[in-house]
Amino acid sequence: MKEDLSSLAVYPMGVAERLTGLTARQIRYWEQQGLVKPSRTPGGHRMYSEADILRLKEIKRLLSEGMTLERVKVYFANKEKGGISRTGQLGSSRPVDRIPSRVGPLYSGANRADLERLIDRRLGR
């Protein structure tokens, strides 16, 4: 059986810092908060997989977009359960394909397209 290469822990902390643009302190803090769980060597050194690196980058992006750390925790908890809908709302099963009607009239033309792109990017579409 072929092993998933993205789960192999091959990057030490220094490489993880360079790949993500984060500091070791930030990475350790997010680990303390339960957002990332790197593997450990027998000597206790953290080793990060490609999946860990991608997760760190996603956390960094979400925080830079204004999401709070608590909201990031909820986001990942629901993402792992498959509970994030296309609306971006947790626990909601009603997909939204368009901008809500109460907001739509405020945005037309290029502005509307920009808003839809932002919504799609936020929802990972």
**For all residues of the chain together, what is the average pLDDT?**
79
What backbone phi and psi angles, to 5 degrees, belong to 9? -85, 105
Round to whole Å and give the CA distance between 11 and 5.
Answer: 13
Q: Which pTM does this prediction carry?
A: 0.62
Residue type, 125: R
Tokens 């907001």 -> residue: 103
Confidence check: pLDDT of 75 > 50: yes
Read off the tokens for 86: 């296309």
CA 80 from chain centre, in angstroms, equals 11
pLDDT band at 81 (very low <50, low <70, confident <90, very high): confident
